[in-house]
Amino acid sequence: MDVTTLPAWKSLARHRADIENTRITQLFEDEPGRSERLTLKGGGLTFDVSRNLASRDTFARLYELADAVDLADQRNALFRGDTVNESEARAALHMLLRTGEPAGHPAAPEVADTLARMETISQAVRDGSWKGSTGEPIRHVVHIGVGGSYLGPRMAAEALTYFRPDATTGRIADHYVANIDGHHIDRVLAGLRAAQTLVVVVSKTFTTLETRANAETARTWLQQQLPGADLSRHFIAVSTNLDAAGDFGVTADHTLPLWDFVGGRYSMWSAVGLPLAITHGFETFRRMLDGAAAMDHHFATAPHAGNLPLTAALLSVWYNCFFEAQSHAVIPYDHFLRLLPAHLQQLEMESLGKSVTQDGKPLAVTSGQILWGGEGSNGQHAFHQLLYQGNRFVPIDFILPLRARHALPGHHEWLVANCLGQAEALMQGLSADEVAANLAASGTDDTLAAARRPHMTHAGNRPSSIIALDSVTPESLGALVAFYEHKVFCQAAVWHINPFDQWGVEYGKQLSRRVFARIQQDPAADQQPVHQATEQLIDLYRKAQNPE
């Protein structure tokens, strides 16, 4: 299905011309009650989309597009567990992990059992009854995984810093290792006491190069530090590939399953989150699932105009396809949410970075955008200049916790003021006349004022949405991530692409193996040719190993 052939799409294309000269601020004048009407609530979140370049008519046409692609039916198929991941012939049921629905799903008992095992393990490690090979309690959890086997739990562990029972005592410390860059695991292990260390190897396939390499290094380290010890109590594996985990040496009772119907970037709700349950307590993990379940229910039941993920997705389709937005910024005004953009990068870009439709036909539109971001208010001192006066069109999500978890006077008021101030400034802009008046009022002489005026004006009319949380809690974090998961699904549903596969990454892995064989000059290895440019740098690498 080529969405650009649909009348609803063509209607939006015509409408794009209509809105060319519209000012967002004018829309507030033209549409009494715009603020209230475009402040949506659902799943515990508040989503203010009033500062977007979308009139009442725009939203109406966008929701018509949703109907034109039978988005409600596609959503129902997703929740039913239909084969929505066509290229891998799989369902996508990350919702099952937090809602237990669809009821009666054949995997539901194993999902429930795995959650129970997570509770047992996390409580045993926390109460000290899980002991290492020398009888000492665990004080360090090393999570080894990459991509979806890392980003989600790493982000959540940081975001929920205030929900670590022993944040101040540091009684159980977590160390997340993902990169094959040996510098990281080298430093992590150097500081640890092996007898008190539990290594959790997380890999859906249990074949990922980075994870295998880091797990083997961790195993070697444990063997060296605890010679002759029974290492079984120092390893847990989380995988769909139970055989590979067993071959690696993890005992079956210390191996927790994953399922093919849960994509890596959608898996933080599974045993991938075990280290989080250990360091933050199982209840915190359970509450995060509950928050996501609340967003699942909202997404599955809310009508289009009040549906947070659907509305967010349609706005992204609007900007991506009709304003040629190249990127989308997510700016959390909360220090401990600063890793959220990295998680969302994989979620959005690995899901939507496609060029063919579900039925393998060339995609007629550009799908997905480059998602990036950084913590507010720091970004104001780093990249906001481009957002204000650059010639790029960058839609922004500001994420704003309304209540602080600290009691320090003044800080949160300033944080909120900065967030709202940016959103207003981006929308309002600053005209040449306003700049001239400001310069005159400050006594700047006319010559300097005339010279400075063009440098100080802001075009404005730059859209942003504000996602307000009451405060960062396990529930609101769960709802926020589920919001973005369903936003991704809705965008893919409009474009008729598969958001649940990632065939593209396999080719890069294949070339890496080819270059590795060349570097190793292993005669047994398949010495397939590499490009001359690559050969040149392999030579450079070789020379660097034996400096004169």
Positions that interact with ligand F6P (CB under 6 A): 146-149, 203-205, 208, 211, 264-265, 350, 502, 505
* Nearest residue (CB) to ligand F6P, 213 versus 229: 213
Closest approach of ligand F6P to the CB of residue 90, in Å: 13
Determine how β-strand 396-401 pairs with β-strand 327-332.
parallel
* Nearest residue (CB) to ligand F6P, 265 versus 328: 265
Closest approach of ligand F6P to the CB of residue 61, in Å: 34
Catalytic residue, candidates 101, 348, 350, 375: 350
User: Is 350 noted as a catalytic residue in this protein?
Assistant: yes
Residue nearest to ligand F6P (CB): 264
* Nearest residue (CB) to ligand F6P, 150 versus 318: 150
Residue 425 identity (one-letter amino acid): A
Closest approach of ligand F6P to the CB of residue 204, in Å: 4
Which residues, in sequence order, are CB contacts of 152 under 8 Å at separation 6+? 265, 267, 268, 272, 273, 343, 481
Catalytic residue, candidates 509, 531, 535, 543: 509
Query: Residue 111 has which token pair?
Result: 């999902």
* Nearest residue (CB) to ligand F6P, 203 versus 279: 203
* Nearest residue (CB) to ligand F6P, 343 versus 453: 343
User: Is 509 noted as a catalytic residue in this protein?
Assistant: yes
The torsion angle over the Cα atoms of residues 75, 80, 86 and 89, rounded to 10 degrees, is: 160
User: Is 41 noted as a catalytic residue in this protein?
Assistant: no
Closest approach of ligand F6P to the CB of residue 459, in Å: 39
Rounded CA-CA distance 223/261 in Å is 35
Contacts by 283-289 with C-beta closer than 8 Å and gap 24+?
Answer: 284/160, 284/163, 284/474, 285/118, 285/122, 285/474, 286/119, 286/474, 287/473, 287/474, 287/475, 287/478, 288/156, 288/160, 288/474, 288/475, 288/477, 288/478, 289/97, 289/98, 289/478
Query: Are residues 242 and 254 in contact, defined by beta-carbon separation less than 8 angstroms?
Result: no
Other beta carbons within 10 Å of 326? 13
Query: Residue 464 has which token pair?
Result: 């942003």
Catalytic residue, candidates 381, 406, 455, 506: 381
Closest approach of ligand F6P to the CB of residue 297, in Å: 26
Catalytic residues: 350, 381, 509
